[in-house]
Structure 1
Amino acid sequence: FLYTNSENSFAWVAKNLGPTSYPDLIGIFKDKVRFRELIAKLYPEVFFKKVSWTELDSLDKDTLSYPLVMKPTVGFFSLGVNIVKCSTDWDAALLSLKKDVSRIKSLYPEQVINVSDFIIESYIEGEEFAFDCYFNAEGEPVVLTVMKHLFSSESDVSDRLYMTSVDIVVQLKDKVETFLKQLGDLIPMSNFPLHIEVRLWKGKLIPIEVNPMRFGGWCTTADVTWYAYGFNSYEYFFNQRQPDWENILKREDRATYSIVILDIPATQRNKTIKGFDYEKLLTRFENPLELRKIDFNQHPVFGFLFTRTSVGNFNELEAILHDDLSEFIL
C-alpha cells in the first residue's frame, strides 16, 4: 500500500489516478461550493454563495445573511477564513482577507488553496468536532476517532487545540455514524478515507469541512488516536479494521489526549523570528507525549505537541488555547 495525506499531492493523484473514482471524489470535497450544492437538501438552513475574488469589492454587503463565514472555496489550515458577525464588520473582514491572500499564495499551490474563488456561507453556531473515518470495501462507514475542536472566542478560526477522550467519543459516536450513513447515501464511496469537521447545532451535526486529503491530519490526528486508544488509523484503513469501541469505551482512563498546533500568531507574521523556545513550552504541560518541530520559515506553525491531561487539570489546555505564544518566540 501507498498512502499520502499531503494536500500538495492532489495534482499527482489527478494525473496518475484518473481512471479511478478518487480524483472526482477528492474534487467534490475539496471544492466547498460543489460539496454544499450536493448536500443542500439535507441542510436547508445553511445559506451559501460563491463569489470570485474580483467580485468581493463590489458585493452588496447588505444583501447577505449574517453572521457568515467567508473563505476560499479550496482551502487548508483555516487560512483565509473570516467570520463576519454583521454588515458593519464586512469592510474590516475584507481588508483582513486581502492581507492574507498574498501570504497564502507564497505558501501553497492553487490545488491546496485557491484564492480566485470564495464561498460565503452561514456561520453555524454550536460546539465543533472533528473525526477521521473511512468507507470500507462494502461502502460502510468506520469511525476511527472523534475529537473536540476548541476555540478561544467566537471570532477565533484557528486550529490550536483538538482533543479526544472516552467521554468525547461516547458523546458523539452514534451521531457521527448516522451522519456518515447519510453522507454515503448521497455520495457513494468505498475504500475511501475522510477527515470531517462538524458543528453540533440543536442536536444535529452540520458539516463545516469534509476533506479526504486531511485524513490523519498532517500526521497528527491519526497519531493522537494511537496515544489515546492504542491503534493506528492508517493501519486500520489499509487493513479494513474497525476499532473495538465497545471495550475501549469501558476503560477506566478518562484522561484527555490533545494535539496542540503551535501556529504563528497574526501579530508575529510580519516580524523576524529567530527561534522558538520549545523546552520552555514543555514545562507548561503535566504530561507532554511528543513534540514535533516544524520549519516555521516554510510553514505557518512552530510545531505539533501531543499531550495527556488528567481529569481535573483542564486549565493547562485552557491556558494554551488563549496563549499567543509570544513568550516562547525568540
Structure 2
Amino acid sequence: MILLDYPFVSDFLIETIVENNFEVIATPEAKKLTEGKPIRWISEQDAASKLRNNENELVYTNSENSISWIQKNAQGTKFPKHIDLFKNKVKFRELVKDAFPDYFYMGVPFEGLKSLDVSGFKFPLIIKPAVGFFSIAVYKVDGLEEWEETLAKIEKDISRTQSLYPKEVLGNTDFIIEEYIKGEEYAFDCYFDENGSPVILNILHHVFISEKDVSDRVYSSSQEIIESLYQPLMDFLQDIGKRVDLRNFPLHIEIRVDSEGKIIPIEVNPMRFGGWCTTADLTWFGYGINSYAYFLNNQKPDWEAIFKTRKDKIYSLVLLDNPLGYKPEEVEAFDFEKLLRDFENPLHVRKIKFDKFGVFGFLFTETSKGNEQELEKILHSDLKAYVKIRETAD
C-alpha cells in the first residue's frame, strides 16, 4: 500500500502507482493529490485493518506528514514503534550507542536550551531538533561565543516553519546536541526485504561549501560513489537489522564517513525515501531504477548491468533554496530557463510554490566527469542570477 500526503507527490510517483496498480489509502489528502487519476483505492478502515493483521504489510509513504496517520491507525503494530525509534534522533542514538562508545550526544528540551551550561562542552558541535526535517533549525556551533547567537537563530527558524509541517515532522519540544563529525556526508535509500535482508537503491554524496554549511543544495551519485560505499553500508545495515527486526521496511539514511572510513549515522528516516520525491526520482532519472516499484515488488538493482551504460556520469539533485532570504512578496519569478542553460544535460526540473514553501524548486541533472565545475558553480551560487525581483512603485 502507499500512503500519500502533502507537501508534494511527483508525477513519476503517480505514474508508478497507476502503471503498477498499487493500492493507495483513500485519505482526503491522497484523493486531492491524485485528483482525476485512475487510482486503486483502499479505504482507511480496510488499510488500518490490514496493518493490524499483518505487521509485514508493505507500506510506503511519500511524506513524513503521514506519520500521524500511521500512529493513529496502526497502534499495537511495529510501525509506530519503528517510526518513533528512527525519527527521534535521541532514541536512535540510544539504540546504537554501544557501537559508538566515544560519541557525545545529549537530548535537551527546547525550553531548557537557554539555561543549559555549555561552557564545558567540546566544540565544534551540532544542534538540531530531535525530530526534524529539511535542515530546519540545524546549526554547527564552532565555539562558546556562538552559542547565544545560534539559539536566537533556532527560535526564529522554529517560529517561521512550525506552521508548515505537523509536529510529528518537525518537533520543537526537544533538541539533540552532538559532536561534530569531520568527514564526508552521504545519503542513501534502502529497504529491508521480507527476509530482513537489506537492499540498497542508491547512494548520494551530500556536498557542502564548507564545514559550516548545513544546507541541502547538492547531492550527487555515480558509479564510483556507489561502488566505494556499497559493502560498508551493507555491513552497517546488517548491524541495524540485528538490533531491530526490520522486514518490508523502507528507509532514507544520512551518514558521515570519517577519515578512517568509519561510518557514523546522522539520522534514519522511516517508511520513505528522500523527501519531496527527490532521491527516488533521481534514481529513476539517472539509473532507470524505480525505487517505489523495487520496494513494493521486492526487486534488487543489478548494479553491474546498470553501470555498463552509465560510465563516467554523475547524477545530481540540486535544491533551489533561498540563501539570500527573499520574502515571497519580493520575488516576481525564478528564471528556470536560464538555469537549465547553465547545465550540460538537465534531466528534470521541479517547480515549487515559493510563497508557500520557501524554495524555488529542484533540478535533476546529468554531468560528465570532467565537467564537475557546473556542480561546483551551483553549489556556491546565491541564485541571485536566476531571481527576478518585483519592481516597487515609487
TM-score tier (shorter): over 0.9
Matched, 1:240 2:298: yes
Partner of 2:212: 155
Deviations 1:32-82 (A, max 9, x none): 111111111111222111111111111112122211100001000000001
Match of 2:351 among 283, 293, 303: 293
Q: What's the counterpart of residue 262 of structure 1?
A: 320
The count of aligned residue pairs is 330
Between 147-156 and 91-100, report the one with greater CA deviation. 91-100
Give the Å deviation of 1:268. Answer: 2.3
Query: SS at the partner of 1:228?
Result: helix
Whole-angstrom distance in 1 between the partners of 2:242 and 2:122? 30
Quote the Cα distance in structure 2 between the aligned partners of 1:97 and 1:217.
Answer: 22
Q: How far did 1:319 drift?
A: 0.4
Residue identity opposite 1:166 in structure 2: Q
Displacement after TM superposition at 1:251 (Å): 4.5
Shift in Å at residue 269 of structure 1? 4.8
Q: How far apart are 1:280 and its partner, in Å?
A: 1.3
For 1:306, which of 355, 358, 364 is the aligned residue? 364
After superposition, residues 99-178 of structure 1 pair within 5 angstroms as 99-178=156-235
**Helix, strand or coil: the match of 2:84?**
helix
CA distance in 2, matches of 1:139, 1:49: 31
Does the 8 A contact of 1:29 with 1:211 survive in 2? yes
Q: Is 1:208 the counterpart of 2:269 in the alignment?
A: no
Query: What letter matches 1:58 in structure 2?
Result: S
Distance in 2 between residues matched to 1:319 and 1:265, nearest whole Å:
15
CA shift at 1:300, angstroms?
2.5
Residue of structure 1 equivalent to 2:118: 61
Alpha-carbon distance in 1 for matches of 2:180, 2:149: 17
Per-residue CA deviation, residues 236-259 of structure 1 (Å, 9 max, x unaligned), is 000111111233344452210111
What displacement does 1:213 show? 4.6
Partner of 1:72: 129
* Offset, 1:90: 1.2
Residue matched to 1:44: 101
Q: Distance in 1 between matches of 2:185 and 2:102?
A: 17
Q: Give the Cα–Cα distance (whole angstroms) in 1 for the partners of residues 100 and 328 of structure 2.
A: 40
Structure 2 length as normaliser, TM-score? 0.81
Secondary structure, aligned partner of 2:181 = coil
**Structure with greater Cα Rg:** 2
Can you list the C-alpha shifts for 1:154-178, whole angstroms capped at 9, x where unaligned?
1111111111111111111011101
Q: Secondary structure at the match of 1:61?
A: coil
Q: What displacement does 1:272 show?
A: 2.7
Shift of 1:266: 4.8
Q: Choose 55-64 or 26-35, whichever is displaced more.
A: 55-64
Residue identity matched to 2:183 = G
RMSD: 1.4
Instruction: In structure 1, list runs of 5 or more residues that go unmatched.
Output: none
For 1:289 and 1:252, how far apart are their aligned partners in 2? 14
1:181 pairs with 2:238: yes
- Distance of aligned partners of 1:45 and 1:250 in 2 relative to their CA distance in 1, 3 Å threshold: farther
TM-fit CA distance, 1:106:
2.3
Shift in Å at residue 270 of structure 1?
7.8
Cα distance change on mapping 1:94 and 1:271 into 2, 3 Å: farther
What amino acid is the match of 2:345? Answer: N
| Residue in structure 2 matched with residue 32 of structure 1 by the alignment | 89
Output the CA distance in 1 between the equivalents of 2:337 and 2:163. 30
Is the CA contact 2:61–2:272 (under 8 Å) kept in the aligned structure 1? no
Alignment of 1:275-286 (within 5 A): 275-286=333-344
Equivalent AA in structure 1 for residue 132 of structure 2 = G
> In 2, are the aligned partners of 1:47 and 1:65 still within 8 Å (CA)?
no
Question: What is the rounded CA distance, in whole Å, between the counterparts of 2:119 and 2:92 in structure 1?
Answer: 26
Tell me the residue number matched to 1:8: 65
* Equivalent residue, structure 1, for 2:25: none
TM-score (norm: length of structure 1):
0.96
The Cα shift of 1:89 comes to 1.7
Structure 2's unaligned 5+ residue stretches are: 3-59, 389-394
CA displacement at 1:327 relative to structure 2: 1.9
- How far off is 1:19 after superposition? 3.4
Q: Following the alignment from structure 1 to structure 2, what is the Cα–Cα distance between the partners of residues 247 and 45? A: 41
Which amino acid counterpart does residue 373 of structure 2 have in structure 1?
Answer: N
* Greater mean deviation of Cα atoms: 95-104 or 173-182: 95-104
Tell me the distance in 2 between the aligned counterparts of 1:327 and 1:230.
32
Instruction: Find the aligned partners of 1:252 and 1:160 in 2 and give their Cα distance.
Output: 24
Distance 1:310 1:197 in 2: 25
212-221 vs 93-102, which deviates more? 212-221
Equivalent residue letter for 1:171? S
